[in-house]
Chains A and B, each alone.
Chain A
């Protein structure tokens, strides 16, 4: 996983070259979409999971997203910044599903979001020291406001500030402020965990 921007810029360039290839025949397009699926399925899965959605439903959202991408590209629509497009569409589809589920559920929304948020679970392989740190960070991340948490996870998946702003419908300034705020909280907690 990359947290830097140089890689992100390179990726974007690759996608533009790939998708804008000659002919745009359906066969070729299917291959391009599958290549994008291979590249972005895991990052999308991690991000959607961080929204409190369980894996099977994340997979469904991702299927829908890539199918929409296929139709989008077949229709000759813009292929600029495919990564940003994928995250934006997946984000919106996931929120729609989550909203629908919350509306239909008797369980209070906040309680369920907490329960279904990423849960590392007990892992025998984990080192004891790291485990304590992970638990502490998990508590901090869970306590962040929803939008701050989403900014942080999108950044962790390598998205640039401008892309995050587009996906979450925020200003660039708000993105950087949100990240600074979240990292300050995470940093404070990490310091407390130091021996």
Chain B
């Protein structure tokens, strides 16, 4: 049987319906369709299926999409902020502080955090530059925790890597003076993890560099798991655990893992 005499495949027919055939193939397919009732019928079936699917797809979302006004305004504000046209953020921060049901962890501010490489982080960081941040700046990120007790915390699932809203991520990068840096170079991380009662607050968020090698997010995750386990087993006070991780998480890791360098399984 000659190639031209064979029936067209669904793939050929679909490509024809969608106008994705090359000129040569289009000629071949059209010539075949002209002579073949069966393939013409199949092509029609495919078109009907597409129409059904389109109706189905539209029906799924009809009148269900949230209005775009809020997200559009937020995007405008984010862009304006980056372009340096919206310098005043103090009022929104004040509102946030008033509305959140948290308390800044007592005594955390007094603990000294080592700002490795932070001296290189300036307000004029260019888009191409990436500052390596392994430890948060204690002035910007002292840590903030919710008012929860050990029993409440330990009956909840261990929430790890809770997503940080994008708008809040931008604010953190801005606070650290790296708003022009590539956002994907950092993970906006909770200093006190929500698994230990950490709050969704800018004072508890910091940009951890993906390019940090030894003391990276995986190592911090291991410490968080260890501290939560100790808290829930009654071997460590919750406030103490929060203070340890907020003060200097690398020092806390060394203390609780009895090592000077990250253990291989955590890296």
CA distance A161 to B17 in the complex (A): 12
CA distance A4 to B47 in the complex (A): 11
Distance in Å: Cβ of B76 to nearest Cβ of chain A: 6
- Asked if B19 is at the interface (CB within 8 A of a chain A CB), the reply is yes
**Complex partner residue of A71 from B72, B127, B166, CB under 8 angstroms:** B127
Distance in Å: Cβ of B10 to nearest Cβ of chain A: 4
- Asked if B66 is at the interface (CB within 8 A of a chain A CB), the reply is yes
Interface size on A, residues (CB 8 A): 62
Distance in Å: Cβ of B194 to nearest Cβ of chain A: 11
Give per-residue flags for A125-147: 1 if the beta carbon is below 8 A from chain B beta carbons, else 0: 01000100110011001000000
- Asked if A38 is at the interface (CB within 8 A of a chain B CB), the reply is yes
Check B59–A187 contact: CB distance below 8 A: no
- Asked if A16 is at the interface (CB within 8 A of a chain B CB), the reply is no
Closest to B184 in A: A68
Distance in Å: Cβ of A63 to nearest Cβ of chain B: 5
- Asked if A80 is at the interface (CB within 8 A of a chain B CB), the reply is no
Check A67–B53 contact: CB distance below 8 A: no
- Asked if B78 is at the interface (CB within 8 A of a chain A CB), the reply is yes
Check B79–A67 contact: CB distance below 8 A: yes
Check B49–A183 contact: CB distance below 8 A: yes
CA distance A67 to B248 in the complex (A): 32
Distance in Å: Cβ of B61 to nearest Cβ of chain A: 5
- Asked if B46 is at the interface (CB within 8 A of a chain A CB), the reply is yes
Distance in Å: Cβ of B249 to nearest Cβ of chain A: 19
Closest to A33 in B: B79
Contacts of B169 in A (CB 8 A): 64
Closest to B21 in A: A176
Q: When A176-B11, A180-B9, A183-B10 are in contact, do A67 and B183 touch as well, CB less than 8 Å?
A: yes
Quick check: which of B97-105, B156-164, B199-207, B208-216 contacts chain A, the rest being far away? B156-164
Residue among B10, B46, B57, B61 with the most chain A CB within 10 A? Answer: B57
Check A137–B79 contact: CB distance below 8 A: no
Check B72–A55 contact: CB distance below 8 A: no
Check B75–A37 contact: CB distance below 8 A: yes
Contacts of B56 in A (CB 8 A): 133-134, 137-138, 141
**Complex partner residue of B78 from A27, A67, A118, A156, CB under 8 angstroms:** A67
Q: When A75-B127, A156-B54, A183-B50 are in contact, do A63 and B59 touch as well, CB less than 8 Å?
A: no
Contacts of A177 in B (CB 8 A): 11
- Asked if B167 is at the interface (CB within 8 A of a chain A CB), the reply is yes
- Asked if B83 is at the interface (CB within 8 A of a chain A CB), the reply is yes
Check A46–B159 contact: CB distance below 8 A: no
Check B53–A137 contact: CB distance below 8 A: yes
- Asked if A110 is at the interface (CB within 8 A of a chain B CB), the reply is no
- Asked if B4 is at the interface (CB within 8 A of a chain A CB), the reply is no
CA distance A176 to B169 in the complex (A): 39
Q: When A156-B53, A179-B14, A183-B50 are in contact, do A30 and B83 touch as well, CB less than 8 Å?
A: yes
- Asked if B240 is at the interface (CB within 8 A of a chain A CB), the reply is no
Give per-residue flags for B2-23: 1 if the beta carbon is below 8 A from chain A beta carbons, else 0: 0000000111011100111000
Residue ranges of A at the interface with B (Cβ–Cβ < 8 Å): 1, 3-6, 26-27, 30, 33-34, 37-38, 41-42, 45-46, 49, 55, 57, 59-64, 66-68, 70-71, 74-75, 97, 100-101, 103-104, 106, 118, 120, 126, 130, 133-134, 137-138, 141, 152-153, 155-156, 160-161, 176-177, 179-180, 183-184, 186-187, 190
Q: Report 30 cross-chain contacts, Cβ distance below 8 Å, ordered by A residue.
A: A34-B72, A38-B68, A42-B61, A42-B65, A45-B66, A55-B65, A57-B163, A59-B66, A62-B71, A63-B75, A63-B78, A64-B166, A67-B75, A67-B183, A68-B183, A70-B78, A71-B182, A74-B127, A104-B159, A106-B157, A133-B52, A133-B56, A137-B52, A138-B60, A152-B53, A153-B57, A160-B20, A161-B20, A186-B49, A186-B53
Q: A67-B78, A186-B52 are in contact. List 16 more A-B contacts (CB 8 A).
A: A1-B57, A1-B58, A5-B18, A37-B68, A38-B68, A45-B61, A59-B66, A63-B74, A63-B167, A66-B75, A74-B82, A130-B59, A138-B60, A161-B20, A176-B11, A187-B52
